[in-house]
Structure 1
């Protein structure tokens, strides 16, 4: 049997289909996934935050549609007498230079090193958006832990084609924030069980590639 820390909780597993169906825009499937997520222990705040964050990876239209679906799910559950845990709202994040500094620090911690390169020299505005908005405004919100945020990101990216390099980066970040190889393999299995074999395969391929690179670098 796997050790407890090598197994995703029911709550963590529930993030996989929510993220994937948000990315693909499959609302009937997302409806079921949101219900299962709430049943598995996701709070209303958790669920909202996952869908809010995913706009940065899937675009506003997918995120807005998913949030509308969550509203529908919560209304239906309330009519059935289900009282879902509201969770908690995030504390305020800094502004101005303090936000940029925090976002830069978060990005460095998540990535394992400062992020730079010719792409960001070519388009410095996107570097600022990443540091200030994604890793500042969003990742600094404390109502959802970083492991959950990374699972949501991996689930969404895996469901989309053509973003393999970004998926690869977030597999590495997932390991950096303490998710384990068995947990990520389990995450891929959950995607397969929920009917997205392609997404599952992308997670497995990215994880295998990361492990191969780590081995070549002499890391465990």
Structure 2
């Protein structure tokens, strides 16, 4: 009887653990914290240009513990992927939200500024190293991709501006920047190639499969089914590649 009981207990524990793991893999258990979820929604609504819902997401982000400077950094990064008009629209919306909260007597934490970037930083080398790290490469590729050969200047802008000037600003971690970028590209539409790169990059910064499923859940529940499906389709391909 005791042996049967022990075996039954073990089976129940295994089934329970399997169910939990499957639930996490399917994104049914929230694995992103409130700050991370707010980065997703702020990035998505900025990209879409839905100011009304963006303002709500900004309020939620501040209430979740994002500092004013962290949110500003998310909005600034959006110009690299969604363009200046969307980024500036988000910044104007944020200014309005802060005025509203100040009038209500709410004092939000400003947060720290970015650390100074060394004046002698080799931005080309730094950006190339960051891009390789995000791609999961230990060595800088010796051969250039076709787009780099075709348009060397875009490669320079990517290395020196995006992956150096922007990613070197330490208000946000690289992982948080990847989270914002995934939400932006999923909301932008028809950006499967860059979205695939940045989902890989997000996992290379330590975001789990469950957390990425949770990104899709946040998009589906709070943003829209189209944006969620775009991310879900690409994530499936990324996971198949990594397996």
Residue 62 of structure 1 aligns with which residue? 86
Out of 194, 197, 210, the residue aligned to residue 169 of structure 1 is: 197
Q: What per-residue deviation string (whole Å, max 9, x for no partner) do you get for residues 124-161 of structure 1?
A: 00000000000000000011111110110000100122
Out of 99, 102, 111, the residue aligned to residue 87 of structure 1 is: 111
- Which one has a bigger Cα radius of gyration? 2
Unaligned runs of 5+ in 1: 216-220
Q: Number of aligned pairs?
A: 213
Distance (whole Å) between structure 2 residues aligned to residue 195 and residue 86 of structure 1: 27
Q: Does 1:138 align with 2:166?
A: yes
Distance (whole Å) between structure 1 residues aligned to residue 117 and residue 223 of structure 2: 38
Out of 175, 179, 183, the residue aligned to residue 147 of structure 1 is: 175
Distance apart, 1:195 and its partner CA: 3.5
SS in 2 for 1:188: helix
Conservation of the 8 A alpha-carbon contact between 1:93 and 1:99? no
Out of 176, 187, 194, the residue aligned to residue 222 of structure 2 is: 194
Distance apart, 1:80 and its partner CA: 0.6
Distance (whole Å) between structure 1 residues aligned to residue 109 and residue 121 of structure 2: 35
SS in 1 for 2:188: coil
Unaligned runs of 5+ in 2: 1-19, 25-29
Conservation of the 8 A alpha-carbon contact between 2:45 and 2:223? no
Out of 173, 176, 179, the residue aligned to residue 207 of structure 2 is: 179
Compute the TM-score of the two structures, normalised by the length of structure 1. 0.92
Runs of 4+ in 1 over 2 A off after TM superposition: 94-97, 113-116
Q: What per-residue deviation string (whole Å, max 9, x for no partner) do you get for residues 17-73 of structure 1?
A: 111111111111101011111111111011000000110000011001100111111
Distance (whole Å) between structure 2 residues aligned to residue 135 and residue 183 of structure 1: 24
Conservation of the 8 A alpha-carbon contact between 2:44 and 2:223? no
Distance apart, 1:174 and its partner CA: 0.5
Out of 184, 194, 203, the residue aligned to residue 156 of structure 1 is: 184
Q: Does 1:76 align with 2:117?
A: no
Distance apart, 1:202 and its partner CA: 1.4
Distance (whole Å) between structure 2 residues aligned to residue 168 and residue 100 of structure 1: 23
Compute the TM-score of the two structures, normalised by the length of structure 2. 0.84
Distance (whole Å) between structure 2 residues aligned to residue 195 and residue 69 of structure 1: 18
The two structures, once aligned, show a CA RMSD in angstroms of 1.5
Conservation of the 8 A alpha-carbon contact between 1:15 and 1:37? yes
